[in-house]
């Protein structure tokens, strides 16, 4: 790789996502089950009444695929998409949304409840934590913008605990994702980074420990089906009902 995973996270990831924004939706559409899996993980937030009266934060919303999943599962919720990439947000904002959806340009780890108009009832973060320079700071932010008792779902790659999953991931990346990314965008650095960053990220047990260390409770991992079984997971947790005495 021309740049290390750590170096990419220090700032180049955002630039690469800006560059890939125009073709990103076409690339993810080629992934069988991509949108369905987002909806499954979003549904696992378990919000009542279609989210009526609740605020849901979509951290790392990208071009809005995860936002669309949340809007479909919780049509009565206020949904706020947040992303650090201006290019990705421009694509998200250009899509047709109802009046309950809005977007904020910010780095996830810099966000405060005040930036959103108040604390949120739930946080959804799809493929975000692995791309952050400081995952613990990002988890702390997600915790801090939630109300006591609030729910968080991470929809994330995690293959470190399984040699089989690592093998399938590498095979798919070098056989499909990296070549396709090069053809569609004219460059492959982001997709080579994607491959390596997943291999170097927490295993499922390690990510659960990280979530508990951030002060989250009821932490558990839920499986997804299809070719990504054992590769992409739903990680669920809640903020203690007495957290911060807010």
| Interval 21-45: pLDDT, tens | 667 777 787 788 899 999 999 999 9
Q: For residue 157, what pLDDT band results from cuts at 50, 70 and 90?
A: very high
DSSP-based three-state secondary structure for 97: coil
For residue 118, give every residue at least 6 positions away whose Cβ sits within 8 Å of its Cβ, in sequence order, or none.
55
Which whole-number Å values give the CA distances from 173 to 42, 111, 116, 197, in the listed order? 25, 32, 36, 12
Cβ count near 125 (within 10 Å)? 25
Say whether pTM exceeds 0.85: yes
Compute and round to an integer the Cα radius of gyration of the chain: 17
DSSP 12-74: IHHHHHHHHHHHHHHHHHTSTTHHHHHHHHHHTT--GGGGTT-EEEEET-TTTHHHHHHHHH-
Select the highest-mean-pLDDT range: 3-7, 25-29, 207-211, 224-228: 207-211
What is the mean predicted confidence (pLDDT) over 235-243? 91
**DSSP labels, 106-168:** --GGG--GGGGTS-EEEEEEES-GGGSS-HHHHHHHHHHTEEEEEEEEEEEE--TT-HHHHHH
| pLDDT, tens digit (0-9, with 9 covering 90-100), for 72-86 | 999 999 999 999 989
């Amino acid at each position: 790789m021309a740049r290390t995973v750590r170096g990419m996270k220090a700032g180049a990831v955002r630039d690469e996502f800006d560059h890939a924004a125009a073709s990103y939706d076409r690339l993810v559409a080629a992934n069988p089950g991509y949108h369905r899996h987002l909806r499954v993980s979003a549904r696992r937030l378990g919000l009542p009444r279609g989210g009526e009266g609740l605020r849901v934060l979509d951290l790392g919303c990208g071009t809005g695929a995860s936002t669309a999943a949340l809007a479909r599962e919780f049509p009565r919720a206020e949904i706020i998409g947040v992303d650090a990439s201006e290019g990705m947000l421009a694509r998200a904002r250009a899509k047709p949304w109802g009046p309950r959806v809005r977007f904020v340009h910010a780095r996830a780890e810099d966000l405060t409840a005040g930036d959103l108009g108040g604390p949120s009832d739930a946080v959804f973060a799809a493929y975000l934590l692995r791309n952050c320079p400081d995952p613990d700071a990002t988890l702390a932010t997600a915790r801090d913008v939630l109300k006591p008792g609030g729910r968080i779902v991470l929809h994330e790659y995690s293959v470190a605990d399984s040699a089989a999953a690592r093998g399938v991931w590498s095979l798919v990346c070098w056989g499909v994702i990296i070549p396709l990314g090069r053809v569609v965008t004219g460059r492959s650095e982001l997709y080579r980074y994607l491959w390596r960053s997943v291999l170097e990220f927490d295993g499922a047990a390690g990510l659960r420990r990280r979530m508990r260390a951030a002060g989250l409770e009821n932490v558990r991992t839920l499986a997804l089906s299809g070719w990504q079984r054992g590769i992409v997971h739903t990680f669920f947790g809640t903020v203690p009902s007495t957290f911060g005495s807010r």
